[in-house]
Amino acid sequence: LKDVYGNAFFRMKYLDKNPENFTSILKKDIYNKKALLPQMAWIDSIPPISPAKLVPKGFFCIKKLVVKYDKKQQPSDDIFGYVIYKSDKKNLVNIENPENIVRFTDSNEIKIEDLNIPTKKRLYIWVTAIDKHQNESSPVGNIKIKKRK
């Protein structure tokens, strides 16, 4: 696919059959990073309210993280889900870099086992809320996660 610039769209019916390994090549080489959809600023450009905090849950080790809002500050009605980011640095995450996206979820509970954290790697987890128009809140979190085995 060299010398091809931009995007082409196909009916999924044809890509499901993976003709000439084309779908695998798209997933492996071209679209191998997670990314947000473009923001629809012409419809709405107001980001949802940021969660107040990310609360770790677990007895001896963190099993899940729960997105919490203050009692006075309820989440927006149009929250579509949450974007989970990772960072190697304690107080810094770059939400502009799609390589930092771990996953998307529509649940306010995030299971650590679903995050695919490398063994013996220390990461800091951050979360943003997104609405149906892909407006993104400020990140909250800074929760240290280290997978032991």
pLDDT at 126: 93
pTM for this entry: 0.78
Q: Do residues 67 and 82 touch, judged by C-beta distance below 8 A?
A: yes
pLDDT at 19: 79
Mean per-residue pLDDT pooled into runs of 10, the chain (149 residues): 66 77 82 83 89 85 85 79 90 89 90 79 90 92 79
> Which pair of structure tokens corresponds to residue 38?
């473009």
pLDDT at 112: 83
Amino acid letter, 9: F
